[in-house]
Structure 1
């Protein structure tokens, strides 16, 4: 008998509405956040969200869902395997 799904299916979605509302699934952990930056550990790697007046509207780590409101300026995935020194620099600042 052949197993058609040997690995767990990774599901991570980001839905942005008018740069003012984000609904994110596949969130494993909220590493840090303030009104200008969020750092989330997701199924697809670490995700930084930068903006203005950011605040968490909803959080459920049981279901892996986070909702953020505010003005979004940038979103970036940080993966040490792909970005090397840039990721180390960010993690160095965060985990001092």
Structure 2
């Protein structure tokens, strides 16, 4: 993941329900978002009421952010949407870990 645009995660209250609506792989509307851990134009890492979610694509932007309701909209070309066990993401390895191989 490239340098995050956020230095600290955005945490907010959310309702317990988690919904995902994708339209034509260009718009993603989420509810039940607890926090946005990091994001840039290629990747968003979010904590939802159902676990960590990784969204990857191209030219990704934050379209809507409602911290009171836990609603987030992401716009761009969405290539991948995945729930992950640990927030480092699948196959993610630290820079130091790669050097020590």
Structure-1-length-normalised TM-score: 0.74
Runs of 4+ in 1 over 3 A off after TM superposition: 86-90
Root-mean-square deviation (Å): 2.1
Q: State the structure with more CA Rg.
A: 1
For structure 2, which runs of at least 5 residues remain unmatched after alignment?
A: 1-14, 95-101
How do residues 6-85 of structure 1 correspond to structure 2 at under 5 angstroms?
A: 10-80=16-86
Q: Which has the higher helix share?
A: 1
For structure 1, which runs of at least 5 residues remain unmatched after alignment?
A: 1-8, 81-85
**Number of residue-to-residue matches in the alignment:** 79
SS in 2 for 1:72: strand
* Greater length-normalized contact order (CA 8 Å, ≥ 6 residues apart): 2
The verdict on how the C-alpha distance between 1:63 and 1:53 changes in structure 2, with shifts beyond 3 A counting, is same
**Corresponding residue number in structure 2 for 1:5:** none
Give the deviation of 1:87 after TM superposition.
5.2
